[in-house]
Chains A and B, each alone.
Chain A
Amino acid sequence: MMLLETRNLGRSFGGLLALDELNLKIPEQGLYGLIGPNGAGKTTVFNLLSGFLQPTRGGIFFNGVNLAGLPPEQVTLRGIARTFQNIRLFGELSVLDNVLVGCQGRSRAAWWQAALRCPGYLQEEREFVARSRALLEEVGLAAAAHDKAGQLPYGHQRRLEITRALATNPRLLLLDEPAAGLNPQETRELMDFLRAIHQEHGLTILVIEHNLRLVMGLCQHLTVLNHGLTIAAGPPAEVRRHPEVIRAYLGK
Chain B
Amino acid sequence: MRLLNNIAVFITLAVSYNLINGVCGQLHLGPNAFIALGAYTAALLTLPPAEKVANFLITPLFWPLSQITLPFPLALLAGGLVAAACGFLTGFPVFRVRGDYLAIVTLGFGEVVRVLANNLQGLTNGPLGLKGLYPYTNLWWSWGVAVATVACITALVNSGYGRALKAIREDETAARAMGLNAFRHLLLAYILSAFFFGVGGGLLAHLITTISPSLFTFFLTFNLLIIIVVGGLGSTTGAVLAAILFTAAGEWLRVVEEPQVLLGLHIPGIPGMRMVIFSLLLLLVIIYCRRGLLGSREFSWGSLNRFCRRLLKYDAS
Contact = CB atoms under 8 A, between A and B. Distances in A.
- Asked if A pairs with B, the answer is yes
Interface of A: 50, 52, 71-73, 76-77, 81-82, 84, 88-93, 97-98, 100-102, 104-107, 109, 111, 114-117, 121, 124-125, 128, 164-165, 167-168
B49 to A, nearest CB: 37
A104 B296 contact: no
B163 interface: yes
Given A101-B178, A114-B156, A121-B160, 10 more contacts: A52-B176, A71-B176, A73-B177, A73-B179, A90-B167, A93-B166, A97-B167, A104-B179, A105-B179, A117-B155
- Interface of B, secondary structure class, is helix
B160 A93 contact: no
A195 to B, nearest CB: 23
Q: Which 10 pairs show the lowest CB-CB distances between chains A and B? A: A105-B179, A114-B159, A90-B170, A76-B179, A88-B174, A101-B167, A115-B156, A72-B176, A115-B155, A114-B161
Interface of B: 152, 155-156, 159-161, 163-164, 166-167, 170-171, 173-182, 188, 296
A73 B173 CA distance: 10
A69 B24 CA distance: 27
Contacts of B164: 101, 104
B178 A105 contact: yes
B177 A72 contact: yes
Contacts of A104: 160, 163-164, 167, 178-180
Contacts, number: 102
A84 B167 contact: no
A88 B179 contact: no
B155 A116 contact: yes
Given A90-B171, A92-B170, A116-B155, A102 B160 contact: no
Contacts of A71: 176, 181
A128 B160 contact: yes
A76 B167 contact: no
A92 to B, nearest CB: 6
B161 A91 contact: no
Contacts of B180: 73, 101, 104-105
A88 B155 CA distance: 27
Contacts of A88: 171, 173-174, 177
A117 B296 CA distance: 23
A101 B161 CA distance: 9
